[in-house]
Amino acid sequence: MPSMTTAGPFRRSFWLGETMTDVFPFELVRLTDHENEVRVVVASVDDAAFWEAEIAVTSMFVKGRTLLMLSREKLEAWSRALDRLALGENVTWMEQTSGPTVRIELDGERDCPEVIVEDESISMVTVRVPIALDAGWIADQQERVRRFIEQC
């Protein structure tokens, strides 16, 4: 089983049984090929129903971040999107909400998946990042969201 670590200076493992407050920031999504990367990092609990988070995009060409609020509904929508990705379908996550939208196209223009992050509500910027993801990346993302939801 892969190690589940959080982002930031305080790396902790979800496998050690900490409470949710012990594991912030938590790296909920990590799509990377070590050159291009898109991450969703949960920073803290806002209240019982919401978590403060950010989407971070890093490549050799661009680096940016945008804030978002996550809810249980958005987490469950991400879980369903991962199930559709496992079936070979492209997905869009958070399209119907205010704030950023994340799309994943499995067969991008560069013969690898592409992650598109649109921040139409704040910066009006869209970034398309090709990421040559390793085998098992969907299962890794499913485990991350499952563990986070279990702890909520």
Q: Residue 108 is part of a domain; what is its CATH number?
A: 3.30.2450
List the one residue out of 100, 83, 102 whose CA is nearest residue 92.
Answer: 102
pLDDT at 13 over 70: no
The residue-averaged pLDDT of 62-70 equals 94
Calpha distance 47→2 (Å, rounded): 30
Question: How many domains is the chain partitioned into structurally?
Answer: 1
Structural domain boundaries, residue 20: 14-151
pLDDT tens digits, 104-148: 999 999 999 999 999 988 888 999 999 999 999 999 999 999 999
Q: Is residue 28 part of a domain?
A: yes
Q: Are 70 and 43 in contact (CB under 8 A)?
A: no
Q: Is residue 112 part of a domain?
A: yes
pTM, two decimals, is: 0.82
Q: Is residue 3 part of a domain?
A: no
Q: Is residue 5 part of a domain?
A: no
